[in-house]
Amino acid sequence: MNPNELQAAGSGRELLKVAMPKGRIYKVASNLFREAGVPIPSDFDDTRKLIIELPEAGMSFIMAKPVDVPTYVEYGVADIGIVGKDVLMEENKDVYELLDLGIAKCRMSVIGLPDWKPVIHPRVATKYPSVASQYFREQGQQVEVIKLNGSIELAPLIGLADRIVDMVETGQTLRENGLVEMETIFGITSRLIANRVSYRMKNEAIQSLCDKLQHAIAAKPGAGV
């Protein structure tokens, strides 16, 4: 059975399982769900519980590490999930991307020291090795990609890498560390994704949620600008 089929059997009237990222995205995503009429109680915000049922909304929430959301959705242990475009590009899982939620905006950029000069075998540090490799391949540049798991901005400061590929939101981390943004690779917002089989089996529930979210997004100040 392939990952998409694992959850297919008997999924007719179950709760819709939502993989909800903890951390940054949770704060804005839970508010968006509330604005869409999904009554996520405020005590969800601080809980250590990992599976939380909300039968009145026909949903249960799997509180996930952001990078794991596409995996849960691909395997069908979650029917839908919320995930940043950065993670979606890096993980490249077999899922449907249904909706741009327009939240948790930032961008993926190439960053370096202001006095950076091209070298023969440049090293690039990043949390996103697949995105970075593809970008430099498309630029026709040969680089050695070094995978790190956080505080990526340290790499050029301590001589581990010539450049980094990382997210920029306000630019504060760059400014405080004397780094400059050299190129933007792509813009990032959070997306609603769905398991392929769930999308068929639970189409009514998923479509209804998408409609409500779309209305909530359109009602936000600055929407459609």
Ligand X SMILES: Nc1ncnc2c1ncn2[C@@H]1O[C@H](COP(=O)(O)OP(=O)(O)OP(=O)(O)O)[C@@H](O)[C@H]1O
Which residues form the interface with ligand PRP (CB under 6 A)? Answer: 150-153, 166-173
Nearest distance from C-beta of residue 88 to ligand PRP, angstroms: 16
Judged by DSSP in three states, 161 sits in coil
Which residues in this chain contact ligand X in the complex, by CB under 6 A?
Answer: 23-25, 65-67, 84, 86-87, 104, 106, 167, 169, 188
Task: Choose from ligand PRP, ligand X, none: what does 66 bind? Cβ within 5-8 Å by kind.
Answer: ligand X
Q: Which is nearer to ligand PRP, 90 or 166 (CB)?
A: 166
Q: 219: which residues sit within 8 A by CB, 6+ positions away?
A: 35
In the numeric block, the tokens 């970008």 are attached to 135
Task: Choose from ligand PRP, ligand X, none: what does 79 bind? Cβ within 5-8 Å by kind.
Answer: none
Nearest distance from C-beta of residue 31 to ligand PRP, angstroms: 19
Q: Which is nearer to ligand X, 104 or 125 (CB)?
A: 104
Task: Choose from ligand PRP, ligand X, none: what does 153 bind? Cβ within 5-8 Å by kind.
Answer: ligand PRP
Q: Which is nearer to ligand PRP, 151 or 207 (CB)?
A: 151
In the numeric block, the tokens 């909530």 are attached to 216
List the structure tokens of 100: 């741009």
Residue with the CB atom nearest ligand PRP in the bound state: 150
In the numeric block, the tokens 């995996």 are attached to 71
Question: DSSP labels for 77-145?
Answer: SSSEEEEEHHHHHHH--S-EEEEE---S-EEEEEEE-TT----SS-EEEES-HHHHHHHHHHTT---EE
Judged by DSSP in three states, 170 sits in coil
Nearest distance from C-beta of residue 82 to ligand X, angstroms: 10
Task: Choose from ligand PRP, ligand X, none: what does 86 bind? Cβ within 5-8 Å by kind.
Answer: ligand X
Task: Choose from ligand X, ligand PRP, none: what does 89 bind? Cβ within 5-8 Å by kind.
Answer: none
Residue with the CB atom nearest ligand X in the bound state: 84
Task: Choose from ligand X, ligand PRP, none: what does 166 bind? Cβ within 5-8 Å by kind.
Answer: ligand PRP
Task: Give every strand in the sheet of 180-188, ordered side by side.
Answer: 144-147, 123-126, 163-168, 106-112, 180-188
Q: Which is nearer to ligand PRP, 31 or 173 (CB)?
A: 173
Q: Which is nearer to ligand X, 84 or 112 (CB)?
A: 84
List the structure tokens of 108: 């993926």
Nearest residue to 132 (alpha-carbon basis) of 153, 156, 174, 163: 163
